[in-house]
Structure 1
């Protein structure tokens, strides 16, 4: 029996219109779509009239669900995987799944789409021909090591940060990188999209003076 194909599909990072026609077609055609959170992906499906069956596969369950995905693929079914937003495996689940499917010699296709990483680099004006992407810094162990790495590198650095820790990160960056230029991109592609640039101290002041600006998911771009 011919095995099925696993499709890794990029989905919108905010604006639900930011999805390619090919992605919509594949999501309609596959037998099942695995996703981080069925509630999140269902909103995307409702927006585009997609009715394919959804199953959950997130960071907590990825290792447990791989066998199920492999069984479906070996039965000849086609499977898609999407994260809640953006490109799977980039600071999101999916790498274990992709690695396991590849080890079985089963076909994998990528359907490229939005990424907060590249979106932020394109809109901040910071040199982006060469950069270091660190995703979310560790909460505790290893955090200081990565902050020192940021201070020492001569490349642009890109981080992700949450609303709960953005002030803490700016305090740490002030200590480690001083007055290097930093841009924070907030709520990309959404109604309240905003990019702020300055030193860590200046940015902290802006956010502390307006708590509304502390809300949302942040991409932090640190200039060379």
Structure 2
């Protein structure tokens, strides 16, 4: 039997009773980082006065999950997968193991539990019925293009961001649309949890005086985006990027070909 167990994202008290029971019974544990997992189990033992039996640990993360030899695992034993924090497979590894279980008729369960995205969208006040979970933006290429597409969606969008990039992200949003309403929250459920809600331009200035340490969730309110195409086109023209990339971005919002936009930029 295989279980996918969400782990607390900050407060140990958010672990469920069922998760603790399965962790006690587990023979094999898959986890992103064995050291972090063992540390978590130690803390849970002390907090809830438990004694976990000896277990076999396997490191399973984004760099090795596609090459991992699952055929060597005895899934007739009680097995569990834990990400470092939060729900497995939500901007974390885990989906490859789910697919392996499906293809090989291995019985598996996903337990409910802590999730930063859901906590943040509820706290934002932007939620009516629908929202989009997007996770992390690409950090290597076409980030501006990707961000503009996200800001053109018709629903609130949830992004994850690292502390080293949060200021850059908010500055980029403010450059595209300074009046875009945002909700930012860091260190969810932890002692120093803090949130911000305002227009992008205001938040870009506010973050200069803030301690940015901690994991961030950013929610973009796209509810009032009727005029976003015009705004995006003007701001794309102002971006300091290569003409070919600028032409590609423009083609997504003005119904002209990339070639047409590229030629107009040369004029």
TM-score over 0.5 for the pair: yes
1: CA distance between counterparts of 2:128 and 2:11? Answer: 24
Contact 1:128 1:156 in 2 (8 A): no
Q: Give per-residue Cα distances to partners, 1:113-161, cap 9 Å, x unaligned.
A: 1000001112121125211111000012242232121221121010000
Residue correspondence of structure 1 range 160-199 to structure 2 within 5 A? 160-199=160-199
Larger deviation, residues 85-94 vs 39-48: 39-48
The size of the alignment, in residue pairs, is 215
Equivalence for 2:79: 79
- Greater relative contact order structure (CA < 8 Å, 6+ sep): 1
Q: Specify the SS of the correspondent of 1:141.
A: coil
Choose which of 7, 22, 27 in structure 2 pairs with 1:11: 7
Larger deviation, residues 15-24 vs 120-129: 120-129
Contact 2:66 2:96 in 1 (8 A): yes
**Deviation of 1:100 (Å):** 1.5
Contact 1:28 1:52 in 2 (8 A): no
Equivalence for 1:136: 136
Q: Specify the SS of the correspondent of 2:109.
A: strand
Q: Specify the SS of the correspondent of 2:14.
A: coil
Choose which of 54, 59, 63 in structure 2 pairs with 1:56: 59
Contact 1:7 1:108 in 2 (8 A): yes
Contact 2:174 2:204 in 1 (8 A): no
- Pair 1:44-2:40 in alignment: yes
- Aligned-residue Cα RMSD (Å) equals 1.5
Choose which of 4, 14, 21 in structure 1 pairs with 2:17: 21
**Deviation of 1:72 (Å):** 2.0
Contact 1:72 1:78 in 2 (8 A): no
Equivalence for 1:120: 120
Contact 2:6 2:113 in 1 (8 A): yes
- Cα distance change of structure 1 residues 142 and 79 upon mapping to structure 2, 3 Å threshold: farther
**Deviation of 1:51 (Å):** 4.1
Choose which of 211, 214, 217 in structure 2 pairs with 1:216: 214
Equivalence for 2:249: none
**Runs of 5+ unmatched residues, structure 2:** 46-51, 224-267
2: CA distance between counterparts of 1:130 and 1:95? Answer: 24
2: CA distance between counterparts of 1:73 and 1:176? Answer: 52
